Amino acid sequence: IIEEGPITVAPPETIKELEQAARRLAKCVQYQGAATVEYLYSMETGEYYFLELNPRLQVEHPVTEWIAEINLPASQVVVGMGIPLYNIPEIRRFYGIEHGGGYHAWKEISAVATKFDLDKAQSVKPKGHCVAVRVTSEDPDDGFKPTSGRVEELNFKSKPNVWAYFSVKSGGAIHEFSDSQFGHVFAFGESRSLAIANMVLGLKEIQIRGEIRTNVDYTVDLLNAAEYRENKIHTGWLDSRIAMRVRAERPPWYLSVVGGAL
């Protein structure tokens, strides 16, 4: 439901270990291209555990792009063309290596770029914080059961710090056999708290009207939960909220009727 970056619950030393372990894994299987290595991390013990390697560009890649200032789809294409990472200006900037800039940066860098060891290079500090939320046609009040039907209205205007895309538009529909996710919202802030605040404001401005139910109100409630804001969540946190039937607060139904009439 929610993705975010950079990592804020582990010390820099552990994050460095995660990066190095991911590189070793990619080298072991001779993998080339964009990929994501996923881990589970225990804040109590400081230990981490390998989950999986996704050999593709993931849907939440704008989170990484926003804080690292690297165009991942473009970099993936460049790597596929056989150009090494140390020749990519954005990658060099990310590791604090001279990278040039402007329209001719690619041509200038490729001619004079010197190879550097990615395993030993220290990346720059991520820029700010980014939070992503998946918008789905699931009903939180019915165990997140998928819903389908016509979408009469869907309105959202992106802002400098909040951006979103949707796979349906006003007058469209969610098919009963399609994936329940039909939108993705990304919010940026100079800090984690600002990114969360921008996301809450962005979600509240999404207007969806039709035969489907969505997780938007429920996600706003998750973002406002003290456990989430204090980074004290765990793998069973959401299940425990569902078990306790914690529901998003909504205004009385008659206010919607009155508002519509006005």
Q: Which residues does the annotation mark as catalytic?
A: 56
Q: Which residues contact 67 (CB under 8 A, 6 or more apart)?
A: 5, 6, 126, 127, 128, 129, 130, 188
Q: Where are the beta strands (DSSP E) in the chain?
A: 2-5, 36-41, 48-54, 129-136, 138-139, 145-146, 149-155, 162-166, 172-174, 181-189, 207-210
How does strand 172-174 pair with strand 207-210? Answer: unpaired
Ranges of beta strands (E only) in 64-203 are 129-136, 138-139, 145-146, 149-155, 162-166, 172-174, 181-189
Please give the torsion angle defined by the CA atoms of residues 203, 208, 211 and 214, in that order, rounded to the nearest 10 degrees: -10
Paired strand residues for 49: 40
182 vs 61: CA distance, rounded Å: 16
CA distances, 237 to each of 31, 138, 233, 242 (Å): 34, 19, 6, 9
Handedness of CA 18, 20, 21, 23 (dihedral sign): positive
Structure tokens at 203: 């979600």
